[in-house]
Structure 1
Amino acid sequence: MHLPTLPPSLLSALQHVMRPVVRLMLKKGVTYTSFANLLKQVFVDVAEHEFRLDDKPPTDSRISLLTGVHRKDVRRLRAKASEDESSLPEVISFGAHLVSVWLNNPPFCERPGRPLPLARLSSTGGAGSFDALVAQVSTDIRARVVLDEWLRLGVVRLDEQDRVHLQALAFIPQRGFDEKIAYFRHNLHDHACAAVHNLTEAGTPFFERSVHYDSLSPWAVAQLREAVEIEGMQVLNGLNLLAAEMEERDIPSADARQRITIGLYFYTEANPAAASTPTTASSS
């Protein structure tokens, strides 16, 4: 088997993109040894399921050759059942669906993207209450349970009139590490999949673009951050509404269903090295 030469630029890029992940691991007490063992499982799992020849499961020896993982470890790790990495936990998916209905469906919104404060109880708010919102999405979950959890996470707040206010135009938990890590897992995975596809596959690339400057003032960065939060959410809410309409109008067969992720992000950090260089703008 001919193994491709490793491009130095790829190794350098991998080292760079791993830095924030390693920062997270060190802050949360994940050591190199424990992560290396986890990484072995990922190498074996990807080689087994995505690098088959003639759609036949590869042998332990071939996986060992592809990955560099010892054959004894390959045999042990293949015996482990791999979990589905494509879907969000049910509680997260339910929350995102509920917020989408609140944002886009009367009588819960003033217009798409403008959610109304909802009376907590159906006895006071009727069809436009929080009780009614939850009941529209699921009759198996009590509205009080959802409300208590969302108050804990900071997704909603209650006012003095016992009305429920949505705190953000998306299901974005302000508290609760497990809920935040679910989005970290989902969003970073899908962004990486799009980028890897564009590097390795022929045909139409996935849309993946960014704008970056390196000599902005703190005031300018604050203004841009606010613009991204407002205009970016407007874009995402519009796409969310379009996707919701299409999901209802164009129902695929079970074997033709596909999932999508559309993302937008903003990041800034100090850049002293740019002080002596001209301002640059780039889109890539």
Structure 2
Amino acid sequence: MHRPVARLLRPLVRLFVRSGITFPVIVDLLRELYVNVAEREFTLPGKEQTDSRVSLLTGIHRKEVRRLRGAGAPVAEVPTGLSRTSAILARWLAAPDYTDAEGNPLPLPRSSEAPGPSFDALVSSVTKDVRPRAVLDEWLDRRIVAIDAENRVSLLEAAFLPRGGDDQQLYYFGRNLHDHIAAAVSNVTAQAPAFLERAVHYDGLSEEVARRLEKRSRALAKTALQNANRDAYVASEREPGGNWRWSFGIYVFSEEVPDEAPGPDAPPTGGEEAP
């Protein structure tokens, strides 16, 4: 496990160093997480989880285990603004009243005084706690929407791109990576793969080809995500709720690897793989 874990952690360590999160801080966090996971997820049926057992599982001294037990895992709370924004966007991208025949979000008149669906009606259908005008002003400032020549509110590509380093991006950084890693871990530890977790990859490409593939991948991903959101929205509107959650994610990555790249005459290599 050492080599794949080292490769997994390397980008995170790069982020930690860049963000000023020092090694002792990460050690303290890992110590707390080790105790929390062992305490909650490695219990024996019919037996109380003891400090000694947690210490044995984690390698952490019993005094530290006793101090840290019951502290609770870090809670990933959804920022209020993000929860509201996500709900409104999901409806705009999925509800038949707010999309065209091809499933694209319609430009919306600003006021409910106009016939048909409007931006005011969209916001009001999701939340009564914030005025539609306040949402519009916020979204205009964040460049999520724009006002077109016909005075309609149009959704921009930036709606799907939180600002770098803000609370919304950091929330999804933690959530998306957690779910991706959790799916992969489940597949590695299960008798048979439980989740879809696959990637298409090619090495030895030119920069032009890599960037062209990246652009094409973005278009494919956008279509897939919109279709998945539409299906999930319809299902959640029609069927009773429960305690389960579901995520469907896509990632695209490319980089130059001069130290490992094959010679210029070597053919590209690639394929589709899953752990």
TM-score (norm 1): 0.87
Give the equivalent residue in structure 2 for 1:259. Answer: 245
User: 1:40–1:69: 8 Å Cα contact kept in structure 2?
Assistant: yes
**Inter-partner Cα distance in structure 2 for 1:203 and 1:170:** 37
Native 8 Å contact 1:154 1:174 kept in 2 = no
Offset at residue 112 of structure 1 (A): 5.2
In structure 2, do the counterparts of structure 1 residues 122 and 73 end up closer, same or farther at CA, with 3 Å as the change threshold? same
Cα-to-partner distance string for 1:77-97 (whole Å, 9 max, x where unaligned): 114233444x64443232222
Q: Name structure 1 gaps, 5 residues minimum.
A: 1-9
Q: Does the CA contact (< 8 Å) of 1:118 and 1:165 recur in 2?
A: yes
Write the deviation string for residues 103-161 of structure 1: whole angstroms up to 9, x where unpaired.
Answer: 122432223531122222333x4542211110011122211222233234332233455
Who is 1:94 aligned against? Answer: 84
**Aligned residue for 2:127?**
138
1:122 counterpart = 2:108: no
Distance 2:64 2:143 in 1: 43
Aligned residue among 187, 195, 198 for 2:187: 198
Alpha-carbon shift at residue 203 of structure 1 (Å) = 3.9
Pairs aligned (count): 270
Letter in 2 for 1:278: P
* Contact 1:154/1:173, CA 8 A, preserved across alignment: no
Partner of residue 186 from structure 1, selected from 175, 183, 186: 175
Native 8 Å contact 1:103 1:113 kept in 2:
yes
> 2:98 matched to which residue of 1?
108
5+ long unaligned stretches in structure 2: none
**Residue 265 (structure 1) shift:** 0.6
- Aligned residue among 160, 177, 191 for 2:166: 177
1:275 equivalent among 252, 262, 270: 262
Counterpart-to-counterpart distance in 2, 1:176 and 1:29: 14
Aligned AA for 1:23? R
Q: 1:96 touches 1:170 (CA, 8 Å); kept in 2?
A: no
Task: Work out the CA distance in 2 between the residues paired with 1:55 and 1:117.
Answer: 59
Contact 2:143 2:156 in 1 (8 A): yes
Q: Is the 8 A contact 1:108 1:128 kept in 2?
A: yes
Q: Deviations over 1:153-178 (max 9, x none)?
A: 33223345543221128643235611
Q: Determine the structure 2 residue equivalent to 1:243.
A: 232
- Deviation, 1:269, is 0.4
* Letter of the structure 2 residue corresponding to residue 33 of structure 1: P
1:190/1:57 Cα in 2 relative to 1: closer, same or farther (>3 Å)? Answer: farther
Q: 1:170 to 1:259 in 2, by over 3 A?
A: farther
Which of 76, 82, 87 is equivalent to 2:67? 76
> Which amino acid in 2 is paired with 1:199?
V
Which structure would you say has the larger RCO, counting Cα contacts within 8 Å and 6 or more residues apart?
Answer: 2
1:140-155 paired onto structure 2 within 5 Å: 140-155=129-144
Cα distance, 1:20 vs. partner?
Answer: 0.7
What is the percentage of aligned positions where both structures have the same residue?
A: 40
Aligned pairs for 1:202-241 within 5 A: 202-241=191-230
**Cα distance change on mapping 1:41 and 1:126 into 2, 3 Å:** farther
CA–CA distance in structure 2, aligned partners of residues 127 and 174 of structure 1? 32
Quick one: which amino acid aligns to residue 262 of structure 1? Answer: F
In structure 1, the partner of 2:13 is: 22
1: distance between equivalents of 2:115 and 2:164? Answer: 30
For residues 57 and 126 of structure 1, what CA distance do their matches in structure 2 show? Answer: 63
